[in-house]
Amino acid sequence: MTTRTQKQEDSMSTATTPTRAPHSDVPTGHKTPEGRVGAGLFDPKQLIKSLPDAFRKLDPRVMIKSPVMFVVWIGSALTTVFSFTDPGDWFGWTISAWLWLTVIFANLAEAVAEGRGKAQADTLRKAKTDTVARRLLKDGSEEQVPGTDLKIGDLVVCEAGDIIPGDGDVVEGVASVDESAITGESAPVIRESGGDRSAVTGGTKVLSDRIVIKITTKPGETFIDRMINLVEGAARQKTPNEIALNILLASLAIVFLLAVATLPPFADYAGTHLTMVVLVALLVCLIPTTIGALLSAIGIAGMDRLVQRNVLAMSGRAVEAAGDVSTLLLDKTGTITLGNRQASEFVPVRGTTEAQVADAAQLSSLADETPEGRSIVVLAKEKYGLRERHQGELANAEWIAFTAQTRMSGVDVDGQKIRKGAAGSVIAWVQERGGMVTDDADTLANRISEAGGTPLLVAVEDTDGARVLGVIHLKDVVKDGMRERFEELRRMGIKTVMITGDNPLTAKAIAEEAGVDDFLAEATPEDKMALIKREQAGGKLVAMTGDGTNDAPALAQADVGVAMNTGTSAAKEAGNMVDLDSNPTKLIEIVEIGKQLLITRGALTTFSIANDVAKYFAIIPALFAAVHPGLDKLNIMGLSSPDSAILSAVIFNALIIIALVPLSLKGVQYRPVSADKMLRRNLTIYGMGGLIAPFIGIKIIDLLISLIPGIG
């Protein structure tokens, strides 16, 4: 974020241009582009739409991307071929059918996750319209060209009612823009040249005024194009963590393949025979099919959860990195604090009263339309019962506007000259007029600064001469609940660092009130870069937010750089995430979603491997009990027959995938606890659950199978 310098000697600020219409800073409620908080995990319409995709994914060129499920696909094909050689073998046909269902269920899990993204992409496509651009020529004239013909560097004119033809930066003018097609927020935003609110997105609509835009992207590579590709999953690359897990799963599949390959000689020696259908079924039950089937869905769902919160991740790697972040850089203004300093009290110097200070402060602030100025008027009215006066009532008043040179504002009225502003400026103004400044004026100002506030001195010149009346205490209000959220992050092992342009005394006070671990005062772009590199040198992953061009280097350097959608194109290009709501506090949610993704993947991997171990001890005793009666003691479930044991295990193996799809899409509930507690929890819940569930599930299926005449 761009910072505001709020040193004591430069404490007055000019009014800032609002970026949204009134009340538009209300969160959008994590809406999807369809305006819903999120589709149901098993929406029948979504299942029906996703089913054709699940069958299309049976293409071996697609299946080979998942080594474990490719083994299941090959096994399904082999059992089908062997079933054709013995058409009367019900067991072979049943096993084949359930193996194909296992593959289809795995594809369906991925297709449902992708389908939710495609629904959002379809909405975005509606925002993409073939526009005609008014391109500016060198001589100042205009020509109309298709939006697809625009090149980087072209200047285009947009007026009220025009659709912006491409991504770019406003280089001239100011306008109100409707970005609801992208953000889901109906309130318009202000876009203007020469600041950090200059970036515009193709497909959005100009509502008022006239702006000139410099195109910064090629056709087909616009922000909306990238959003469509990313939410559809077309551009989702496997993350390093996901690749490593795939290698582990493939290795386990090879180990179990070798283990199953050794069974036929043992069976022949024992006087029994294991058919190819039985061996394939046994292999599929032993390899980690559960996590192999759900791995892609978990990754896609993680990105989908970000999209539901109006955050666009440029890659799955960024989401994963968010889960491993150990240092969080947060801008103070608008993130930790409300952003607008509020008047909290009037402190009189010796010889004056609070009422005198309040009256003078209110008069000097009537023409001050900044949030700080309005808060002074309101405080004087509410706390001291002063009627809120208006400029129109003071016909003979001369209003003194704030300037960077004087660092003061005020009013000349009824023979009085009232000024309010930075302590140094007001004291100098009084002394120039031969007035006296009590020694406690500077002391009061320093005390307010040390407490984290901003002091504004109020002075008056009348028939009694010039003098300081007192100090206005402007307080940067820390948002409710921030201390609790930072405490949660601390329990997660994440260090929080507040970045601010304040002086060190003010920064220290705000940091202590908010509960952050550290702070960086009077921060410059170079300071931010140095801090990030210092943290990374210690082996930590760093996340930060930003919206200005001066934030771009730090966003690019950070492992997770979240750019605000209201910011510049440079910031959005440098970051690996874009927050469409431009809410800096969302960085905390992003970290939680990243951690939830990693926890979900780890929990389901634990469940899957424990599941395979349980199925091994459920099947093998029943398989060999006939030739080795001693093994019947290990058949603790009392499965009715070898065929029933294998078939029950295959059916359970398929059904457990469908049963876990909601968990893979929703994610394991995240709790801010230490890593060792989280590990113990996952081993207890998902490890033990993975061991126990197959025994219960296989036994129930075996009982149902035994009721079928001719099978049990």
Please tell me whether 496 is known to bind a ligand. no
Q: With 70 as the cut, is the pLDDT of residue 39 above it?
A: no
What does the alpha-carbon distance between residue 228 and residue 235 come to, in Å, rounded to a whole number? 9
Q: pLDDT band at residue 116, thresholds of 50, 70 and 90?
A: low
**Concatenated DSSP letters of 209-236:** SEEEEEE-S-TT-SHHHHHHHHHHTTT-
Q: Are 455 and 444 in contact (CB under 8 A)?
A: yes
At residue 378, the pLDDT reads 86
What's the CATH code, domain 341-477? 3.40.1110.10
Angle between helices 642-666 and 688-706 (to 10 degrees): 130
What does the alpha-carbon distance between residue 529 and residue 519 come to, in Å, rounded to a whole number? 14
At residue 126, the pLDDT reads 60
Quick one: fold of 311-336+481-580?
Rossmann fold (3.40.50)
Q: pLDDT band at residue 230, thresholds of 50, 70 and 90?
A: low
Geometric angle at alpha carbon 592, from 586 and 596, rounded to 5°:
145
Amino acid present at 606? T
Strands 398-400 and 542-546: unpaired
Please tell me whether 664 is known to bind a ligand. no
Please tell me whether 393 is known to bind a ligand. no
Of 344-353, 440-449, 684-693, minimum mean pLDDT range: 440-449
Please tell me whether 4 is known to bind a ligand. no
Burial of 517 (0-12, 13-18, 19+ CB in 10 A): middle
- Torsion angle defined by CA atoms of residues 694, 697, 698 and 703, in that order, rounded to the nearest 10 degrees: 160
Q: With 60 as the cut, is the pLDDT of residue 24 above it?
A: no
Provide the token pair at 135: 């391109």
* CA nearest neighbour of 357 among 450, 475, 473: 473
Sign, CA dihedral 85-90-93-99, equals: negative
Q: Name 203's Cβ contacts closer than 8 Å, sequence gap at least 6.
A: 127, 128, 129, 163, 164, 181, 182, 222, 224
What does the alpha-carbon distance between residue 111 and residue 405 come to, in Å, rounded to a whole number? 62
Q: With 50 as the cut, is the pLDDT of residue 539 above it?
A: yes
Sign, CA dihedral 233-236-241-244, equals: positive
Q: With 70 as the cut, is the pLDDT of residue 386 above it?
A: no
Please tell me whether 368 is known to bind a ligand. yes
* CA nearest neighbour of 224 among 580, 556, 550: 580
Q: Are 657 and 66 in contact (CB under 8 A)?
A: no
Q: Average pLDDT for residues 381-398, to the nearest whole number?
A: 68
Strands 155-159 and 453-462: unpaired
At residue 73, the pLDDT reads 95
Amino acid present at 551? D
What does the alpha-carbon distance between residue 195 and residue 393 come to, in Å, rounded to a whole number? 36
Please tell me whether 420 is known to bind a ligand. yes
Backbone angles phi, psi at 132, to 5 degrees: -105, 125
Where does CATH 2.70.150.10 sit in the chain?
150-218
Q: Give the pLDDT confidence of 183-204 residue by residue, as tens digits.
A: 655 567 888 887 667 888 887 8
What does the alpha-carbon distance between residue 152 and residue 569 come to, in Å, rounded to a whole number? 13
What does the alpha-carbon distance between residue 18 and residue 197 come to, in Å, rounded to a whole number? 10
Mean pLDDT computed over every residue of the chain: 79
At residue 424, the pLDDT reads 85
Q: With 60 as the cut, is the pLDDT of residue 81 above it?
A: yes
At residue 128, the pLDDT reads 58
What does the alpha-carbon distance between residue 133 and residue 166 come to, in Å, rounded to a whole number? 9
Where does CATH 3.40.50.1000 sit in the chain?
311-336+481-580
What's the CATH code, domain 150-218? 2.70.150.10
Q: Are 201 and 245 in contact (CB under 8 A)?
A: no
What does the alpha-carbon distance between residue 579 and residue 564 come to, in Å, rounded to a whole number? 5
Q: Give the pLDDT confidence of 610-639 residue by residue, as tens digits.
A: 988 888 777 777 777 666 666 666 667 777
Burial of 712 (0-12, 13-18, 19+ CB in 10 A): middle
Where does CATH 3.40.1110.10 sit in the chain?
341-477
Backbone angles phi, psi at 396, to 5 degrees: -95, 5
| Residue with tokens 């009612």, as numbered in its chain | 161
Other C-beta atoms within 10 Å of 55: how many? 13
Q: With 70 as the cut, is the pLDDT of residue 17 above it?
A: no
Question: Catalytic site residues?
Answer: 331
At residue 666, the pLDDT reads 85
What does the alpha-carbon distance between residue 636 and residue 652 come to, in Å, rounded to a whole number? 17
Q: With 90 as the cut, is the pLDDT of residue 439 above it?
A: no
Please tell me whether 551 is known to bind a ligand. yes
Provide the token pair at 443: 């002391």
Please tell me whether 404 is known to bind a ligand. yes
Q: With 90 as the cut, is the pLDDT of residue 114 above it?
A: no
Sequence-separated contacts (24+) of 628-632 with Cβ below 8 Å: 628/270
At residue 26, the pLDDT reads 32
Number of H helices, E strands in the chain: 24, 21
Please tell me whether 5 is known to bind a ligand. no
What does the alpha-carbon distance between residue 103 and residue 93 come to, in Å, rounded to a whole number? 16
At residue 113, the pLDDT reads 75
SS3 706: helix
**Concatenated DSSP letters of 10-29:** G---PPPPPSB-TTTTS---
Q: With 60 as the cut, is the pLDDT of residue 518 above it?
A: yes
Task: Tell me 551's DSSP state.
Answer: G
Please tell me whether 289 is known to bind a ligand. no
Backbone angles phi, psi at 472, to 5 degrees: -95, 125
Q: Give the pLDDT confidence of 443-461 residue by residue, as tens digits.
A: 888 888 777 678 889 999 9
What does the alpha-carbon distance between residue 11 and residue 472 come to, in Å, rounded to a whole number? 11
At residue 79, the pLDDT reads 93
At residue 37, the pLDDT reads 34
Q: Give the pLDDT confidence of 130-166 residue by residue, as tens digits.
A: 678 899 888 888 898 888 788 888 999 999 888 888 8
Please tell me whether 519 is known to bind a ligand. no
Please tell me whether 372 is known to bind a ligand. yes
Q: Are 572 and 313 in contact (CB under 8 A)?
A: no
Q: Are 579 and 562 in contact (CB under 8 A)?
A: yes
Please tell me whether 408 is known to bind a ligand. yes
Q: Give the pLDDT confidence of 406-436 residue by residue, as tens digits.
A: 788 888 988 889 999 888 889 999 999 888 8
What does the alpha-carbon distance between residue 452 and residue 134 come to, in Å, rounded to a whole number? 51
Give strand ranges (E) for 103-257. Answer: 132-136, 142-146, 155-159, 168-178, 189-192, 199-200, 205-206, 210-215
What does the alpha-carbon distance between residue 355 and residue 203 come to, in Å, rounded to a whole number? 55
Indicate the pTM of the whole model: 0.65
Q: pLDDT band at residue 440, thresholds of 50, 70 and 90?
A: confident
Q: With 60 as the cut, is the pLDDT of residue 88 above it?
A: yes
At residue 212, the pLDDT reads 92
What does the alpha-carbon distance between residue 622 and residue 642 come to, in Å, rounded to a whole number? 5
What does the alpha-carbon distance between residue 288 and residue 253 come to, in Å, rounded to a whole number? 7
